[in-house]
Amino acid sequence: MSAMLDNLSLGFGVAFSGTNLLVALIGSFFGTIVGVLPGLGPTNGVAMLVPIAFAMGLPPDTALILLAAVYVGAEYGGRITSILINVPGEAAAVMTTLDGYPLARQGLGSVALSLSAWSSFVGSLIAIVGIAAFAPFLAQWALAFGPAEYFVLMVFAFCALTSLLGEQPIKGVLAAAIGLSIATIGVDANSGVYRYTFDIPHLADGLDFVVVVIGLFAVAEMLQMLENKLSGQSVEVPPSQRKLFNLRELRLTSGSTIRGSLLGFVMGVLPGAGASVASAVAYANEKRYIEDKDPDAKFGQGDMRGLAAPEAANNSAATGSFIPMLTLGIPGSGTTAVMMGALTLYNITPGPVLFEQQPALVWGLIASLLIANMMLLVMNIPMVRVFASMLSIPGWLLVPGILAISFIGVYAISATTFDLMAVVAIGVIGYLLRKLQMPMAPMVLGVVLGTMMEQNLRRALSITNGDVTILWASTVCTILWVLAAAVVLGPMGYRQLAKRRRAQETAP
């Protein structure tokens, strides 16, 4: 305990220097803006700043603090467009749309924004305490995860997701499978074989996540808005009556926030799982947990607990993903991978000895994560007013605005007309699929995780030369399979039971 306090005081000594504070402030603000823009996520934000930080000659601890602040800021920013216009700013914010946008449509946009800023803060805070207390220990545990365990973990994430779709899990499975198939487009990394590219050079790298997400969310949403307008529903989200969440809402969501944070932290520590999986699992978990107890829960229609849990989880996972990076040298997410690249520019190799060799760097980073989070909370609560004023924009200006920002986001990736056309095509398909009540979240998660899932499966099978028993050989795998089965079969059995009970009650 005293060692932890010593370490933290060393860290705060580094973080509280004038330059580092200023850098954390600039980083969090820039990160928030990057997070708001659909298409630009934390990875892009950090990647943009690495060369700038290096060129400016910032010392390694300052550079790392800047990049970490951008990362945390982008995780905060990603939720803003999810809530206000149903377009996730980045992958981990997809779950936030499920309850955040319905809340905004009920005139609670500002409440949702401020509440999610709070749960993001709590999520990060819990993860920071977790890093300080358990980093070296957790790193050892994460080492036990081999490719087979990762594959089964992802199967579990999909099972958890499809179970949150209530009445029609089959559509969830279908959506996830379609998403995973989209991820197979492009050159296969292992064999160099072109898959489903049909000699179109633009498809060699596959369809980018941003192209899919803008199509399925932004373009499909615009078509949906047009349909709603023609059937006499209002296009605009009503402005909020209240700006901040109240004490009752805070109490209602505090359990969800803490559960989401703890779960997110554990998922963040697992290298590769990352914030998108964490927020999906946290949402599914919370939905089941709450709905068992509270029949009035309205998940998917604007339940604040459905907003708090994934928001806490994604920030907690983002912070937790520093553990494998710092202790093992294995990046826990795409963004930490970029940050590791930045460290190597300074001739610093993250790994088991980093905590001993560079304590000031490591603990300074941990302390400044905390400071960046506080700055973001302070910055975000007053800015809720600014963000929420987006809602009073009339439809004839709002929709072209969303359209232009979406197209800019897509164009920024590869600067081709092909991607823009693909976005429109995917948007039309997405609109039709939505009319058929297909859930979009599993599809997007499939696109995000597809490559990783396939790679882990193939790696696992390579180890055993094709023997599939490796997929349930270890204890971790077995536990994950049991959890996955429980998540799928549990609600089904529960529904059957409820049906039987109802039949018995109505029977004479």
Partner 1 sequence: MVLNDRTLGVAALLLSAFLAWFGHGLEAAFTYEPVGPRAFPLLLATVIGLCGLRLVVKGGNPAAPNPPGANSRIALMVALLLVYAGLFQWAGFVLATAVVSACVGRLFGGSWLQCGIGGTSLSVLFYVLFDRLLDVVLPLGWLEGLL
**Sites of contact with partner 1 (CB under 8 A):** 33, 40, 48, 168, 170-171, 173-174, 177-178, 180-181, 184, 188, 190-193, 195-196, 219, 222-223, 225-227, 229-232, 235, 394-401, 403-405, 407-408, 411-412, 415-417, 420-421, 423-424, 427-428, 431-433, 435-438, 454, 457-458, 461-462, 465-466
> Closest separation between CB of residue 66 and partner 1, Å?
17
DSSP one-letter string for 247-284: HHHHHHHHHHHHHHHHHHHHHHHSTTTHHHHHHHHHHH
> Closest separation between CB of residue 18 and partner 1, Å?
26
> Closest separation between CB of residue 399 and partner 1, Å?
5
Element (H, E) at 186: strand 186-187
DSSP one-letter string for 23-80: HHHHHHHHHHHHHHSTT--HHHHHHHHHHHHHHTT--HHHHHHHHHHHHHHHHHHHHH
> Closest separation between CB of residue 449 and partner 1, Å?
12
Element (H, E) at 223: helix 220-230
Task: Name the token pair of 389.
Answer: 């004023």
> Closest separation between CB of residue 86 and partner 1, Å?
16
CB closer to partner 1, 103 vs 402:
402
Q: What is the DSSP letter of 168?
A: -
Burial of 346 (0-12, 13-18, 19+ CB in 10 A): middle
> Closest separation between CB of residue 407 and partner 1, Å?
6
Beta bridge partners of 187: 194
CB closer to partner 1, 308 vs 433:
433
CA angle 245, 248, 252 (to 5 degrees): 95
23-27 long-range Cβ contacts below 8 angstroms, 24+ apart: 23/58, 23/62, 23/65, 23/66, 23/69, 24/65, 24/66, 24/69, 24/368, 24/371, 24/372, 24/375, 25/69, 25/375, 26/66, 26/69, 27/65, 27/66, 27/67, 27/68, 27/69, 27/70, 27/73, 27/372
Contact present, 331 and 324 (Cβ < 8 Å): yes
CB closer to partner 1, 34 vs 342:
34
Cα Rg for the chain, rounded, in angstroms?
22
Element (H, E) at 187: strand 186-187
> Closest separation between CB of residue 291 and partner 1, Å?
22
Q: Give the whole-angstrom CA distance, residue 326 versus residue 134.
A: 13
How many C-beta atoms surround the C-beta of residue 489 within 10 A? 12
> Closest separation between CB of residue 16 and partner 1, Å?
30
Q: Give the whole-angstrom CA distance, residue 67 versus residue 49.
A: 7
CB closer to partner 1, 386 vs 415:
415
> Closest separation between CB of residue 423 and partner 1, Å?
7
> Closest separation between CB of residue 425 and partner 1, Å?
9
Distance of CA 410 to the CA centre of its chain: 19
> Closest separation between CB of residue 454 and partner 1, Å?
4
CB closer to partner 1, 247 vs 386:
386
Contact present, 67 and 75 (Cβ < 8 Å): no
> Closest separation between CB of residue 378 and partner 1, Å?
24
Beta bridge partners of 195: 186
387-390 long-range Cβ contacts below 8 angstroms, 24+ apart: 387/80, 387/84, 387/113, 388/84, 388/109, 388/110, 388/113, 388/239, 388/240, 388/243, 390/84, 390/85
CB closer to partner 1, 1 vs 397:
397
Phi-psi region of 196 (alpha: psi -120 to 50; beta: other; left: phi over 0): left
CB closer to partner 1, 230 vs 247:
230
CB closer to partner 1, 85 vs 127:
85
Residue with tokens 């989880």: 313
Give the residue from 450, 483, 448, 456 showing the smallest Cα distance to 184: 450
> Closest separation between CB of residue 111 and partner 1, Å?
27
CB closer to partner 1, 295 vs 394:
394
CB closer to partner 1, 288 vs 458:
458
CB closer to partner 1, 233 vs 357:
233
CB closer to partner 1, 18 vs 201:
201
CB closer to partner 1, 185 vs 343:
185
